Amino acid sequence: MATFDTNHVKNIVLLGHAGSGKTTLAECMLFEAGLINRRGSVEERNTVSDYHELEQERGNSIFSSLLHTEWRGYKINIIDTPGYDDFVGEVVSALRVADTGVLLLNATAGVEVGADLIWDYTEQFTTPMIFAVNKLDEENANYDKTVAEAKTHFGANVLPIQYPVNPGLGFNCIIDVLHMVMYCFKKEGGKPDKLPIPEAEKPRADALHKELVEAVASNDEALMEKYFEQGELAEEELKAGIKKAMIHHDLFPLFCISAKQDMGSGRLMGFIDVCCPSANEMPPQLTKAGHELACSANGPACIFVFKTISEPHVGELSLFKVYSGTIKTGMELVNENTGVSEKINQLLLIEGHNRTNVNELVAGDIGATLKLRNTHVNNTLHEKGKNLELMPIAFPPSNLTVAIEATKKGEEEKLAQALHDIQQEDATVQVEVSAELKQTLLHCQGELHLTVIKWKIEHIHKVDVKFSQPKIPYRETIRKMAEASYRHKKQSGGSGQFGEVFMRIEPWYEGMPEPNGLNVRGRDEYPLDWGGKLVFYNCIVGGAIEARFLPSILKGVMEKMQEGPLTGSYVRDVRVCVYDGKMHPVDSNDISFKIAGLQAFRQAFQQADPQLLEPIYKVEVLCDDEQTGAVMGDLQSRRAIVEGMDTEGHFQKIVARVPLAEMYDYSSSLRSFTQGHAKFRMQFLEYAPVSYELQRKLSEAYNKEVLEEV
C-alpha cells in the first residue's frame, strides 16, 4: 500500500435512505480502483462492506463499515453507513470524521424520508455534501423529478454536475457540465468513453454549465470579477471555486451513477480527488478548551476514536481519525478522557472484514488499532505532555425504552456484562438499572435497533433475554388534610414492642402557613430524590413521645413514601405533623415507632383524598405536511394535549403534552402509520394528576398484585 500525505487523503461517508445503493457503490469504487478483482453484490451476500453475519442474514447494512480505495494518486477512505434511522448512531459517528458526505438518491423513488432525516445531521455538522442520483438504469428512473425534489428538500444550492442522456433501461450515457463532455459506458460498465456533447444536448448542457459557473462565481469575489470580465471561468478555477463553496456548505454538486451497472463511480472518485476537501482544508478542530488544532502531519500526535468493534477472538478494534501529527506503530499516547497511557501496537487499514498492517498514518487519515486498554468512542488520545480533548460526538437521544431481563434465573450477571459491552460499542444504547421500577431499562433507537441488540446478546454473549413494557414511574400525593393514629403492640416471647403515633398529614406547597392548632417543636424539610418534598413537624407536647423516637417515626414515613399506598409509587409533597402518641417504658423502641409511624402515615394517606400523578412528556413530532392529520389523530388517541404547530426545516412540527404511559410503542407506530415520514423527540415535562377512573384501575391492579405476593 502506497503512503499518502495529508493533501492526498479524502474521507467520505456514503449516506442515504436504506436501499439507495450505498453498499453497491462502495463495492464499485473498490472494484474500479482494483482493490477487489470481482464485484460482490448485496443479493449474493458477498460485498466487502456488509460482511457482518447479521447483515448477511438480513441483506442490508446495519453497521457502518470503513473501507479505503486508491484513485489516481489519492487515498479515499470510505465509510459506508446503514440507511435505517434506527442505526443513526453509526451515521453521526461517521459524519464526525468524514470531510465530505455523498448522499445517494434513488432515481426511481426521488427524495426518500431517510435522506431528509440524514440531511438534518449533515446540517448540524455542516459537512460538505455531494449528491449521487443512483439506479438510473432502472425502468422507472426519473432523474428530473429526483433533482427537482432534491432542490425542494435541500435547497437551490443542489447543482447538477452531470445529467443522464438516456435514463431507464439501457442507461449508459452521462453529460458532464463541468468538463463539458459526454461519458458513455460499455455494457459491463467501468471506464467510459469520453465523447463530445451531441448537438441536441448542447442547449441543456450549456445552460447547466452556466448555472454552475454562476453559482461558483457568486461564492467568491475574485471569481465573480473574473467571470464578469471574461464571461467564463477556467476549469481549474471552477474546481477550486466548487471546493471552496462546498467547504462553506454553500454548494452541493450532483452526480449520476448506476452502482449496479458500475457506471459513474470512477468519475465520482475523480471529482472527490480534486474538488472535495482533505482534512487540512477543513476548518481546524476545536478542542474542548476552545483551542484550534490544525490538521498537520508535523503537529502534536492526536487521534479521535469514533467507533469501536469488539470481535470474538480478535478483541476490541478502535477506529480513529488522526487529527494532528503522524501516528507510528509502537507509539505511546495518553488517553485524555481516561488518563491511561495506550501503546499503539498495531496500525491497521480497514477494508470491511480485512485488515492491513501499516507503519504510520498521517494527519487527516483514518485507521484502526487493536486491544487498547481503556479507550472508548469519543476518546481523544495524544502525545504525552499535551492536553488535547476534541469535541465528542453528540449522539441523538433514545426513541424506545423497554425493560429487559434474562429468561433464565442466575444469568443476570452475564446479561449485565453483555449490556456493558454493547453500550461500549454502541453509544446509542443506554442501560439504566431502575431501583424505582425494579427493572433494567434499555434505551435505544427503535424496534430494528432492538432486534440487533437482542441478536448480539443471544449470539455473541449467549444469554436469552425477554423484553417487556417498562413500568411507569407514577407519583402519589394527597389533596386534603387527614389525621390518623396507629398503635403498634407486640408481645410474643422475649422483648415486646409498643409505640403509638398520632399524625396529621396535609398536601405540602411552598410558602404554606405553619400547621394550625398544633404546637410546633421542630421542623425539618426533606427534598426527595424522586422530586418534591417531605416536611416533617414535631408537634409532640408533654413528652408523649421521646424525641429519640422521632427519627424512627420519620423512617417509617419515608419507607411508606417509597412505596405509596395507592400503587406502590413514590409519594411527594406531603407535610407530616406528629402531634401525639404513647410509649411503653420497656417495650417502646425504634422498630415499634417506625412501624407505628409507617402505619399511621398509610392510614392518614388513604383518608387524605390521595392523587396519583403521571409523568407527562413534551413530544415534538416532525412530519411531512400530508401526515399532520394522521399524527394529530393518533396523538389525540393517546390522551395528548396538542399545544401547537410550527415548522422546522422542511418538516411540520406538532408539539403536544403526552402521558408517558401512552408512549411505549410510539416510535414503531409512528414509523408505520407515516411510512417513516415522521420522527419525534420527547423530554420529561412535569407530573400531572391522572383521571379518577385510571387511578382506580391502577390502584386495584396494584392491590391485587400485593395480595398475590403475600
Where does this chain bind ligand GDP (CB under 6 A)?
A: 16, 18-24, 41-43, 60-61, 83, 134-135, 137-138, 258-260
Give the integer Cα–Cα distance in Å for 105 and 169.
Answer: 18
- Distance between first and last Cα of the chain: 71
Radius of gyration of the chain (CA): 32
| 596/632 Cα distance (integer angstroms) | 51
**Min separation Cβ 174 and ligand GDP, Å:** 13
Is 23 one of the binding residues for Mg ion (CB under 5 A)? yes
Nearer to ligand GDP, 258 or 375 (CB): 258
- Cell numbers at residue 194, please? 469520453
Q: Which is nearer to ligand GDP, 24 or 287 (CB)?
A: 24
d(CA 643, CA 579): 46
CB of 667 to ligand GDP, least distance (A): 21
Least separation in angstroms between residue 61's CB and Mg ion is: 3
Contact predicate 395/425, CB 8 Å: no
Report the residue number, 24 or 280, with the smaller CB distance to ligand GDP.
24
Partner from Mg ion, ligand GDP, none binding residue 627, C-beta < 5-8 Å depending on class = none
Q: Which does 375 bind (CB under 5 to 8 A by kind): Mg ion, ligand GDP, none?
A: none
Closest contact distance (angstroms) between CB of 364 and ligand GDP is: 26
CB 46 to Mg ion: min, Å: 13
Query: Which residues between 50 and 69 bind Mg ion (CB under 5 A)?
Result: 61
CA dihedral (181, 185, 191, 195) positive or negative: negative
- 259 interface partner picked from ligand GDP, Mg ion, none, CB below 5 to 8 A per type: ligand GDP
Give 144: exposed, middle or buried? Use CB within 10 Å, 0-12, 13-18, 19+. Answer: exposed
Rounded CA separation 666/23 (Å): 30
Q: Which stretch binds Mg ion (CB under 5 A): 20-28, 406-414, 571-579, 632-640?
A: 20-28
Closest CB to Mg ion among residues 135, 594:
135
Distance CA 107, CA 461 (A): 41
- The whole-angstrom separation of Cα 617 and Cα 687 is 9
Shortest Cβ 193–ligand GDP spacing (Å):
20
The least CB distance from residue 139 to ligand GDP, in Å, is 9
Choices 15-23, 305-313, 390-398, 572-580 (CB under 5 A): range interacting with Mg ion: 15-23
Which residue lies nearer to ligand GDP by CB, 134 or 324?
134
Residue nearest to Mg ion (CB): 61
Number of residues engaging Mg ion in binding (CB under 5 A): 3
Query: Which residue's CB is nearer to Mg ion, number 31 or number 617?
Result: 31
Q: Which one, 56 or 606, has the nearer CB to ligand GDP? A: 56
Q: Cβ closer to ligand GDP: 95 or 213?
A: 95
| From the list ligand GDP, Mg ion, none, partner contacted by residue 189 (C-beta under 5 to 8 A by kind) | none
Residue 281: burial class (beta carbons within 10 Å; 0-12, 13-18, 19+) = middle
Cell numbers for 310: 469488539
The nearest distance, CB 441 to Mg ion, in angstroms, is 30
Q: Pick one of ligand GDP, Mg ion, none as the site partner of residue 18 (Cβ within 5 to 8 A by kind).
A: ligand GDP
Residue 43 binding target from ligand GDP, Mg ion, none, CB below 5 to 8 Å by type:
ligand GDP
d(CA 623, CA 266): 37
User: Least distance to ligand GDP from the beta carbon of 626, Å?
Assistant: 25
CA distance 83 to 78: 15
With CB under 5 to 8 Å by kind, the binding choice for 260 among Mg ion, ligand GDP, none is ligand GDP
Long-range CB contacts (within 8 A, 24+) of 535-542: 535/508, 535/574, 535/575, 535/576, 536/575, 536/576, 536/578, 537/575, 537/576, 537/577, 537/578, 538/578, 539/515, 539/577, 539/578, 539/579, 540/578, 540/579, 540/580, 540/581, 541/579, 541/580
Q: Give 133 or 631: the residue with its C-beta nearer to ligand GDP.
A: 133
Residue 41 Cβ vs Mg ion, minimum distance, rounded to whole Å: 11
CA dist list (Å): 701 to 106, 233, 606, 705 = 51, 77, 16, 6
Residue 47 makes contact with Mg ion by CB under 5 A: no
Shortest separation between residue 445's beta carbon and ligand GDP, angstroms? 17
Residue least distant from ligand GDP (Cβ): 21
Pick between residue 257 and residue 631 the one whose CB is nearest to ligand GDP: 257
Nearer to ligand GDP, 134 or 440 (CB): 134
Beta strands (DSSP E) in 287-346 are 292-293, 302-311, 315-324, 326-328, 332-335, 341-343
**Among the listed residues 1, 2, 52, 6, the one whose alpha carbon sits nearest the alpha carbon of residue 366:** 6
Q: Which does 667 bind (CB under 5 to 8 A by kind): ligand GDP, Mg ion, none?
A: none
Asked if 100 touches Mg ion (CB under 5 A), the answer is no
* E-only strand ranges, 508-606: 522-527, 533-538, 570-571, 574-582
Give the footprint of Mg ion on this chain (CB under 5 A): 22-23, 61
